[in-house]
């Protein structure tokens, strides 16, 4: 890895080149030299032999001695020649072995996928495998002439140098990862180890460095990491990442008390309508486009983003938008001065949404958003707590009419805490059987006979007493507890009504009115639940009257899977509750499968003294009759109201004048004594309210 050491380059093949043709030249020369030595030796031997031969032939004592010496010398010279030849063969064999190992190394390094480099003791590059060119795009010439530490990412250079140093000292470096610049200007990631090569004296004089290109693996890991922290649809950060960033903001605020930030909780108004009317794919498209608008509306030059103190750099504004799920987005706004900063951002978001319609599947649709704001100065010091505050503020913005923004305050927090407590207690109340059903009679005005009862839930709280639904029905609705609660109530009331019908037969039989809320309406199991309750208790569908408030009923009528029509087809009767409060167009009533209108008590009360109220009630009654609907006057409290109702032909009434909602024993007592039936229309004017006994029992 010459890049690893980052010094001067040489051509990658340099080292290999020394192992073949030059080596052969050296060998050839050696052979010449050795041959010369041997020839000279042989010539010398021959010379000695010719000089010594006459002496060898003489037979004097002296010559005998010289003969022996010469033979010995001759033998030694021959032995030396043989030994020299033998050594030359050995050296040749070892060199051949080394050459074949060099060849093997060359073949391995040239064909290896890894990048292999050798650097000398001075850090000079001795060799780069050809894969350098393949993987990093640099030719041998370019590698020779460029300094490769420059190609290493500036942030990684110190680590690379340290690893090389480590390898020189201890023999091996630890495995490191670093980025290197490809010729095409992209960054590649290499995984690298370095090993020292030591000389005979034990000194490390060069390093062999093996790099592996792990760019693809790294990208796959980064993709996985990205996916774990980003929303697949919009590619925005998800809840986990947002909470993490929020946590960091909190830590920073602890270190720098002057640093303040805010969370915006953005919820698209009536998002469901996009899904319902255009389909889910279009709904997704709406979310993607809104995500884009949110990010684009957070400009970096916004006055909100001033250079933060503490030198941690300006926040990457667009990264601070997250999608929590569904139609909920959050935005972290850093370095604010006061609440006006996030409010300005929220207002701009709303303006951006309102300015131009979204283009969804060729259609232009407008979307608005409700925004809740929580400031870091709120009582919470946890990311999740602050997010909850912003969520609460968003709910307040929705409740106050949508397409607006609200800033969280401590009163909101207190309400939320109380609500949460109530929800927990209500959950327990359902489990512990603390709920009761009370029944309020519905009376036929012509003969003041009880024709049915409306079942109304009560909560018998230990140490508190009887709690009215106004205090808990909204919590039950929002938490979803309304579903198990009303399932229980339906069974209980149907059962009771069945037994009353058996004991007090009439024609038509007594009816049971049950309230159905918006949440129940949206619940797909509602019709099934009703069928089950009827089957289990044996109550006829025609004896059941479902009360739906006007707004929910009208919304349902627009849906293709119209729940009301399904209920109607079962034979169940339908009643529009609190009629007159929902601003529904009277003409639409015609297309609505209702049997009864219950006029809201706000119109009934004071109708005896308020001419306007009287006119409204008269109009509603006339209209209902024209449409073939019967009318129940809710909240009838006085004799005068009763007489007025009789005068305008209203058939039924319900209210404290006849009876308050009562427990089942009192309801049974009312049925047994027929107290309500003692009144006849002719005697109404003289009659006293007959529900006194019931009132006393409350
Ligand atoms: P609603 O369905 O309109 O029920 C009639 C409400 O008017 C009852 O209040 C009843 O006590 C009250 N009321 C009846 N006559 C008079 C009167 O002469 N004067 C006055 N001032 N009030 C009268 P309640 O029981 O407190 O119920 C309030 C609302 O809570 C109900 O309005 C209904 O929407 C909801 N609710 C009650 N019980 C249930 C239930 O079991 N399930 C569901 N889903 N909703 C329920
Ligand atoms: Mg009702
Ligand atoms: Mg009502």
DSSP symbols for 27-96: HHHHHHHHHHHHHHHHHHHHHHHHHHHHHHH--SHHHHHHHHHHHHHHHHHHHHHHHHHHHHHHHHHHHH
Note whether 588 and 639 are same-domain residues: yes
Find the radius of gyration of the CA atoms of the chain: 49
Say how far apart CA 532 and CA 538 lie, in whole Å. Answer: 10
Q: Is residue 396 part of a domain?
A: yes
Element (H, E) at 519: helix 518-522
Of the listed ranges 1-15, 189-203, 258-272, the one predicted with least confidence: 1-15
Q: Is residue 416 part of a domain?
A: no
CA distances to 456, 483, 523 from 516, rounded to whole Å, are 11, 10, 11
Closest among 538, 546, 591 to 455, alpha carbons compared: 546
Distance from first CA to last CA of the chain, Å, rounded? 92
pLDDT in tens, 208-251: 889 999 999 999 998 999 999 999 999 999 999 999 999 999 99
Asked if 366 and 286 count as a contact pair (C-beta separation under 8 A), the reply is no
List b or e across 115-145, with b for residues whose CB sees 16 or more CB atoms inside 10 angstroms. bbbbbbeebebbbbbbbbbebbebebeebbe
Distance from Cα 643 to the centre of ligand 2, integer Å: 23
Helix, strand, or coil (residue 187): strand
Q: Is the CB of 486 under 6 A from ligand 1?
A: yes
Distance from Cα 456 to the centre of ligand 1, integer Å: 6
- For residue 641, is pLDDT > 50? yes
Strand duo 652-653 + 630-633: pairing: parallel
Q: Whose CA is nearest to atom 38 of ligand 1?
A: 456
| Highest mean predicted confidence (pLDDT) among 104-108, 281-285, 452-456, 522-526 | 452-456
CATH of the domain at 553: 3.20.20.450
Distance from Cα 513 to the centre of ligand 2, integer Å: 7
pLDDT in tens, 583-601: 666 667 777 789 999 999 9
Closest atom of ligand 1 to CA, residue 458: 38
CATH of the domain at 233: 3.30.70.270
Note whether 116 and 103 are same-domain residues: no
Note whether 55 and 126 are same-domain residues: no
Note whether 102 and 116 are same-domain residues: no
Asked if 476 and 458 count as a contact pair (C-beta separation under 8 A), the reply is no
DSSP symbols for 445-462: TTTTEEEEEEEEEEEEET
pLDDT in tens, 663-676: 999 999 999 987 65
Q: Which residues pair with 209 in a beta bridge?
A: 117, 194
- Any idea what the Cα angle at residue 105 is, between residues 132 and 187, rounded to 5°? 15
Q: Is residue 469 part of a domain?
A: yes
Higher-confidence residue: 323 or 169?
A: 323
- How many structural domains compose the chain? 4
Say how far apart CA 393 and CA 407 lie, in whole Å. Answer: 6
Note whether 37 and 52 are same-domain residues: yes
Residues 377-389 have a mean pLDDT of 83
Q: Whose CA is nearest to atom 4 of ligand 1?
A: 456
Placement of tokens 């602050």 in the chain: 386
The dihedrals phi and psi of 628, each to the nearest 5 degrees, come to 80, 25
Q: Tell which of 199, 222, 245 closes a domain.
A: 222
Note whether 385 and 454 are same-domain residues: no
Asked if 276 and 282 count as a contact pair (C-beta separation under 8 A), the reply is no
The token pair at 362 is: 């060729």
Higher-confidence residue: 556 or 232?
A: 232
The dihedrals phi and psi of 372, each to the nearest 5 degrees, come to -110, 140
Residues 92-104 have a mean pLDDT of 86
- What was the pLDDT predicted at 92? 82
- What was the pLDDT predicted at 560? 58
Higher-confidence residue: 696 or 526?
A: 526
Q: Tell which of 162, 190, 222 closes a domain.
A: 222
User: For all residues of the chain together, what is the average pLDDT?
Assistant: 83
Q: Whose CA is nearest to atom 37 of ligand 1?
A: 456
Q: Is the CB of 547 under 6 A from ligand 1?
A: yes
- For residue 570, is pLDDT > 80? yes
Closest among 357, 419, 366 to 391, alpha carbons compared: 419
The token pair at 413 is: 């927090």
Ligand nearest to the CA of 575: 2
Q: Whose CA is nearest to atom 19 of ligand 1?
A: 635
Closest among 224, 248, 243, 254 to 325, alpha carbons compared: 243
- What was the pLDDT predicted at 367? 93
Note whether 440 and 575 are same-domain residues: yes
The dihedrals phi and psi of 194, each to the nearest 5 degrees, come to -125, 140
- What was the pLDDT predicted at 586? 66
Q: Is the CB of 464 under 6 A from ligand 1?
A: no
Placement of tokens 């909204």 in the chain: 474
Q: Is the CB of 659 under 6 A from ligand 1?
A: no
Helix, strand, or coil (residue 369): strand
Note whether 215 and 297 are same-domain residues: no
Q: Is the CB of 481 under 6 A from ligand 1?
A: no
Say how far apart CA 156 and CA 176 lie, in whole Å. Answer: 10
Q: Tell which of 73, 94, 109 closes a domain.
A: 109
- What was the pLDDT predicted at 665? 96
Strand duo 596-599 + 369-375: pairing: unpaired
Note whether 319 and 465 are same-domain residues: no
Q: Work out the angle between the directed axes of helices 482-503 and 410-431 (0-180°, nearest 10).
A: 50
Of the listed ranges 13-27, 60-74, 368-382, the one predicted with least confidence: 13-27
- For residue 313, is pLDDT > 70? no
Residues with Cβ within 8 Å of residue 206, at least 6 apart in sequence: 118, 119, 120, 121, 126, 196, 197
Helix, strand, or coil (residue 637): coil
Closest among 346, 330, 358 to 274, alpha carbons compared: 358
Q: Is the CB of 635 under 6 A from ligand 1?
A: yes
Distance from Cα 429 to the centre of ligand 1, integer Å: 20
Element (H, E) at 326: none
Say how far apart CA 667 and CA 663 lie, in whole Å. Answer: 6
Q: Is the CB of 466 under 6 A from ligand 1?
A: no
Distance from Cα 431 to the centre of ligand 2, integer Å: 25
Helix, strand, or coil (residue 287): helix
- What was the pLDDT predicted at 59? 65
Q: Is residue 413 part of a domain?
A: no
- What was the pLDDT predicted at 2? 43
- The percentage of the chain sitting over the pLDDT mark of 90, rounded to a whole number, equals 45
Note whether 539 and 449 are same-domain residues: yes
Ligand nearest to the CA of 469: 1
Say how far apart CA 498 and CA 478 lie, in whole Å. Answer: 31
- For residue 80, is pLDDT > 90? no
Q: Is the CB of 661 under 6 A from ligand 1?
A: yes
pLDDT in tens, 50-72: 776 776 666 666 666 777 777 78
Say how far apart CA 244 and CA 594 lie, in whole Å. Answer: 52
Residue of 515, 550, 638, 641 with the most ligand 1 atoms within 8 Å of its CB, for mutation: 515
- What was the pLDDT predicted at 96? 86
Note whether 365 and 298 are same-domain residues: yes
Q: Is the peptide bond before 508 cis (omega within 30 degrees of 0)?
A: yes
Higher-confidence residue: 564 or 696?
A: 564
How many alpha carbons fall within 13 Å on the CB side of residue 654? 23
Reduced 3-state DSSP string for 407-448: ECCHHHHHHHHHHHHHHHHHHHHHHCCCEEEEEEEEEECCCC
DSSP symbols for 217-285: HHHHHHHHHHHHHB-TTT--B-HHHHHHHHHHHHHHHHH-TT--EEEEEEEETTHHHHHHHH-HHHHHH
pTM value surpassing 0.85: no
Distance from Cα 514 to the centre of ligand 2, integer Å: 7
Say how far apart CA 641 and CA 607 lie, in whole Å. Answer: 6
Q: Whose CA is nearest to atom 35 of ligand 1?
A: 469
Ligand nearest to the CA of 442: 1
Q: Whose CA is nearest to atom 10 of ligand 1?
A: 661
Domain that holds residue 570: 421-696
CATH of the domain at 186: 3.30.450.20
In which band, very low, low, confident or very high, does the pLDDT at 653 lie, cut at 50, 70 and 90? very high
Say how far apart CA 8 and CA 226 lie, in whole Å. Answer: 39
Say how far apart CA 658 and CA 638 lie, in whole Å. Answer: 9
DSSP symbols for 487-512: HHHHHHHHHHHHHHHHHS--SSPPEE
Of the listed ranges 24-28, 178-182, 366-370, 416-420, the one predicted with least confidence: 24-28
Note whether 166 and 89 are same-domain residues: no
Helices (H) and strands (E) in the chain, counts: 25, 21
Q: Work out the angle between the directed axes of helices 215-229 and 239-255 (0-180°, nearest 10).
A: 80
Ligand nearest to the CA of 635: 1
DSSP state of 662: B
Q: Is residue 135 part of a domain?
A: yes
Of the listed ranges 72-86, 181-195, 255-269, 554-568, the one predicted with least confidence: 554-568
The dihedrals phi and psi of 231, each to the nearest 5 degrees, come to -80, 130
Q: Is residue 414 part of a domain?
A: no
- The percentage of the chain sitting over the pLDDT mark of 70, rounded to a whole number, equals 85
| Chain centroid offset of residue 467 CA | 40
| Chain centroid offset of residue 289 CA | 18
Q: Is residue 132 part of a domain?
A: yes
| Per-state percent for the chain, helix, strand, coil, to nearest 5 | 55, 20, 30
Residue of 443, 459, 467, 469 with the most ligand 1 atoms within 8 Å of its CB, for mutation: 469
CA dihedral 254, 255, 259, 265 (to 10 degrees): -40
- For residue 199, is pLDDT > 50? yes
- What was the pLDDT predicted at 691? 34
Q: Is residue 415 part of a domain?
A: no
- What was the pLDDT predicted at 172? 86
Residues 396-425 have a mean pLDDT of 86
Strand duo 435-444 + 449-461: pairing: antiparallel
Q: Whose CA is nearest to atom 34 of ligand 1?
A: 515
The token pair at 564 is: 């009301």
Q: Is the CB of 267 under 6 A from ligand 1?
A: no
């Amino acid at each position: 890895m010459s890049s690893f050491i980052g010094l001067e380059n040489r051509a990658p093949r340099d080292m290999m080149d020394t192992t073949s043709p030059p080596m052969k030249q050296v060998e050839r020369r050696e052979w010449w030299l050795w041959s010369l030595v041997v020839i000279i030796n042989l010539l010398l031997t021959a010379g000695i032999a010719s000089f010594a031969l006459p002496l060898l032939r003489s037979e004097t004592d002296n010559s005998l001695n010289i003969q022996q010496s010469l033979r010995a010398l001759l033998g030694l010279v021959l032995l030396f020649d043989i030994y020299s030849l033998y050594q030359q063969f050995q050296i040749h064999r070892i060199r051949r072995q080394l050459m074949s190992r060099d060849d093997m190394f060359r073949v391995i390094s040239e064909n290896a996928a890894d990048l292999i480099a050798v650097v000398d003791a001075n850090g000079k590059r001795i060799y780069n495998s050809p894969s350098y060119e393949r993987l990093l795009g640099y030719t041998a010439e370019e590698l020779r002439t460029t300094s490769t530490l420059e190609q290493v990412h500036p942030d990684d250079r110190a680590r690379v140098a340290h690893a090389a140093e480590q390898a020189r000292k201890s023999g091996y470096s630890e495995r490191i990862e670093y980025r290197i610049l490809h010729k095409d200007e992209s960054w590649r990631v290499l995984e690298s180890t370095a090993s020292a090569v030591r000389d005979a004296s034990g000194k490390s004089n060069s390093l062999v460095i093996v790099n592996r290109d792990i760019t693809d693996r790294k990208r796959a890991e980064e993709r996985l990491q990205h996916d774990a922290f980003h929303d697949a649809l919009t590619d925005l950060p998800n809840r986990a990442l947002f909470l993490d960033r929020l946590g960091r903001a909190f830590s920073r605020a602890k270190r720098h008390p002057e640093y303040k930030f805010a969370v915006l909780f953005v919820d698209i108004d009536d998002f469901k309508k996009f899904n319902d009317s255009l389909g889910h794919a279009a709904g997704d498209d709406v979310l993607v486009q809104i995500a884009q608008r949110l990010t684009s509306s957070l400009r970096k030059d916004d006055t909100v983003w001033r250079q933060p103190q503490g030198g941690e750099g300006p926040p990457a504004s667009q990264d601070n938008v997250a999608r929590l799920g569904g139609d909920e987005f959050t935005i972290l706004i850093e370095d604010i001065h006061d609440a006006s900063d996030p409010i300005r951002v929220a207002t701009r978001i709303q303006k951006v949404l309102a300015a131009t319609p979204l283009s969804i599947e060729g259609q232009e649709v407008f979307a608005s958003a409700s925004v809740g704001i929580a400031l870091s100065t709120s009582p919470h010091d946890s990311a999740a707590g602050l997010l909850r505050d912003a969520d609460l503020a968003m709910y307040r913005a929705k409740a106050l009419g949508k397409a607006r923004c609200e800033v969280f305050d401590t009163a909101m927090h207190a309400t939320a805490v109380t609500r949460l407590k109530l929800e927990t207690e209500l959950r327990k109340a359902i489990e512990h059987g603390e709920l009761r059903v009370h029944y309020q009679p519905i009376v036929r005005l012509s003969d003041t006979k009880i024709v049915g009862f409306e079942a109304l839930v009560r909560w018998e709280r230990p140490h508190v007493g009887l709690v009215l639904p106004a205090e808990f029905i909204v919590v039950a609705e929002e938490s979803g507890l309304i579903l198990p609660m009303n399932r229980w109530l339906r069974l209980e009331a149907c059962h009771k009504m069945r037994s009353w019908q058996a004991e007090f037969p009439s024609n038509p039989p007594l009816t049971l009115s049950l309230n159905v809320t918006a949440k129940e309406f949206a619940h797909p199991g509602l019709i099934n639940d009703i069928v089950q309750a009827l089957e289990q208790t044996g109550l006829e569908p025609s004896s059941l009257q479902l009360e739906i408030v006007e707004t929910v009923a009208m919304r349902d009528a627009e849906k293709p899977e119209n729940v009301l029509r399904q209920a109607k087809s079962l034979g169940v009767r339908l009643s529009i509750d609190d009629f007159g409060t929902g601003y529904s167009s009277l003409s639409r009533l015609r297309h609505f499968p209702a049997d009864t209108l219950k006029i809201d008590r706000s119109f009934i009360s004071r109708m005896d003294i308020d001419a306007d109220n009287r006119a409204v009630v008269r109009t509603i009654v006339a209209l209902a009759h024209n449409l073939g609907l019967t009318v129940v006057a809710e909240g009838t409290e006085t004799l005068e109201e009763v007489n007025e109702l009789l005068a305008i032909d209203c058939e039924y009434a319900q209210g404290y004048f006849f009876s308050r909602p009562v427990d089942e024993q009192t309801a049974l007592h009312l049925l047994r004594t027929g107290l309500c039936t003692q009144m006849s229309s002719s005697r109404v004017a003289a009659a006293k309210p007959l529900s006194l006994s019931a009132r006393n029992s409350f």
